[in-house]
Amino acid sequence: MHYLPSISICGVVDFKKIDRSPFTHIISIWHPNPSLTAFQKQMHVGFPDADIHFATFDDTEVQENGKAPVHDDVLSCLEFARNIPKDSQLLIHCMAGISRSTATAMSIISDFYGAGSELEAAMNVQRIRPIANPNRLILGISDDILERDGALSSAADKIFGKSLGEINKGWST
């Protein structure tokens, strides 16, 4: 049995604004770049007592762009969260705390509560991170992994409106 930890979501820019001490587990999402190893070392310095899972993929909603998230990236985050002990504090971050981290959080919450919880998961993410706009590619992959038949993506559209890919990047989803 796995437990849903207390979840916080932020961007790297928020690290100076938050109390880092309560976090026992972190899903740290970075984009591929030459400084990745240095960033990962800094995470261990900044959160010395936390169990950190690193995921590396671009913030894209199109599979052909850069290092897009794939099945194994999303599954590794879900499996990490499934193994977090009861009463843990999970921080999920990406660069801005808007797209990749919120999609990951929504997937984790819905995984814990089961099929039919997708809208509730979206509302929880919106409460935790009001500026959220979950990455639809990550949600689509989660829909496949969790066998939700598009329910996560539909819930995100209902709660958050258009994806950032549609709004800012000109990608169609």
Q: Is the pLDDT of residue 124 over 60?
A: yes
Structurally, the chain folds into a number of domains equal to: 1
Contact 12, 36 (CB under 8 A): no
Residue 141 within any structural domain of the chain: yes
Q: What is the pLDDT of residues 80-108, one digit of tens each?
A: 999 999 899 999 999 999 999 999 999 99
Residue 114 lies in a domain: yes
167 pLDDT band, cuts 50/70/90, is low
The pLDDT of residue 103 is: 98
CA separation, residue 69 to residues 17, 52, 60, 73, 127 (Å): 28, 19, 8, 6, 25
SS3 category, 28: strand
Residue 78's CATH number = 3.90.190.10
Helix H segments across the chain?
Answer: 36-46, 71-82, 100-113, 118-128, 136-145, 151-160, 164
In this prediction, residues 60-74 reach a mean pLDDT of 89
Is residue 34 one of the residues assigned to a domain?
A: yes
Assigned domain for 1 exists: no
Q: Is 155 among the domain residues?
A: yes
What's the farthest any 2 CA atoms get from each other in the chain? Answer: 41
* pTM tops 0.85: yes
Note whether residue 173 is domain-resident. no
pLDDT one-digit tens code per residue, 125-152: 999 999 999 999 999 999 999 999 999 9
Bridge partners, residue 51, by sequence: 25
What values do phi and psi take at 108, rounded to 5? Answer: -65, -45
Domain for residue 115, yes or no?
yes
73 lies in some domain:
yes
> Residue 98: enclosing H or E segment and its boundaries?
none
Strands 51-56 and 25-30: parallel
The range of the structural domain enclosing residue 54 comes to: 6-168
Angstrom distances, CA of residue 25 to CA of 15, 90, 93, 113, 160: 15, 5, 11, 20, 27
Rounded CA separation 132/158 (Å): 13
